[in-house]
Structure 1
Amino acid sequence: MTLSTAGTYTGKVAFVTGAGSGIGRATAIAFAKAGASVTAVDISEKGLQETAALIEAFGGRVLTIPCDVTSSKGIKAALDKTVATFGGLDCAFNNAGIEQPVNKLKDIDEDLWDRVLAVNLKSVYLCMKHQIDIMLTNGGGAIVNTSSGAGVLAIQGQSAYCASKYGVTAISKCAALEHASQGIRVNALCPGIIDTDMISRFTGDTEQGRARVIAQEPIGRMGRPEEIANTVLWLCSEQAGFVTGHAMVIDGGQTAGI
């Protein structure tokens, strides 16, 4: 099932990080199909080329920018190029992230801790820092940040990942409060187990590993990237005009009992 958004974003500009695969790719494609001009950002040039080819195949408009999202200079340059190319910024999906190998907090390497927090949390801070400045000039906009089910509950062996995702939830709410009166809406998205390359790595890409994580989902399956993309487009649309400061959980019932 696909959300009917044809033409909804005509004349709009969307900025998507982590757009080289998975949820980011699905969302970049969804924005483009809905009429938006899309800036696709990722550290993987190959992934970006594949995403761009998929968008250009149906006549969509896309700008690809390889970027390390932990770099303030890199993010600002990507946003400046977006504005120079497309004329503004209406929607942002700050989605880039990495997983953490299962490990107890006391055994996590300090460099790994710093890397997880930098990619998953600092990047969202940097993106919003520069995106909000542009949106204030433009008179408003909508931002969605990828948190996680791990941003609303604790998971053993995932302290760095949970810390980063709880942080995304928190700063999304703070930014929403700070700019609600200025026409900027900010929400966090908390996906459950979604069938992406990240989950394949986490499960070892085996049938047993997939079965183990699916068993955590009351709905009995993993989510699809397109299902998350549909939600991002809704949150950025006028239909969600009264929604800000919310952490929207989309997890097949995984956290329903907390």
Structure 2
Amino acid sequence: MKNIWLIAAGLVIGLSVNAQTIIKDKEYVSGKWKKSKSPYIIEGEAKIAEGKTLKIKAGVIVKFRTGDKRDYPKTNVGFLRVNGTLIAEGTADNMIKFTREGQYGNWGVVQFDSKSKGSVMKYCQLEYGKFIRSIVQGDNAPGAISVYKGYAEITNCLITNGWTGINCKKGAYPLIKNNTITGNEYGIECNSGSKPKVLNCIIWNNKTTFWNNGESEPKISHTLIEENPAKYGISDDGTNIIGRNPMFVSESSGDYTLKSNSPCKGKAKGGLNIGAF
């Protein structure tokens, strides 16, 4: 009898260790995603319907399929389309991670459509995101995060090793606060009349810091920026730190916390630190 109980306990532990949840292509998602059922593996287009809410709890890992077909609808990569509400709230010690499935390639995007309401991404890590072409009305959605026409709150997030950190399109006006955006092709893109508010962020070591066109008017303050925003037609309000190394503990090993002598220490609006940590 003792041996039977030991075998049963071993099976339970094995199931717990190997728990995962598969999200099929075109599947609608809502409710709660929990750490106990993580990782969630998105094989294609996952959709939050208008009027529905998906809550992702702290510590959850979301993995997206990678591939080379990015022309919607004939894609072979994972991505998340938000027509409803996404509440992805981790903690400083237990972030939510959006990453690729496997060791190579890039996934699609977390795309907030014009119908999305009240979405929040807080204490999330996003890496290896790229883009989807023609996802809405013939328009593209580049970036780990893309906001189309509407509003989303993106705070205390770390965005690395992707195409664009955050993309804003068609008059989008997200709040981009206390994020660290580094190691991407582009830091923040502002297109077609977008008006994001960028506050207390680090935008560093991206191949291009900003892409700003189409009469967009980003408002940037208390942010460490590698290049002068005037280069991209963006005004500096005098509160930003331009061209100074943020002094991460170890960028090469993925530790983006700040050294004690970082110029970002205590320089955020309100006297806290600039950046995600």
TM-score (norm 2): 0.23
Which structure: greater strand fraction?
2
Which structure: greater helix fraction?
1
Q: Whose radius of gyration is greater, 1 or 2?
A: 2
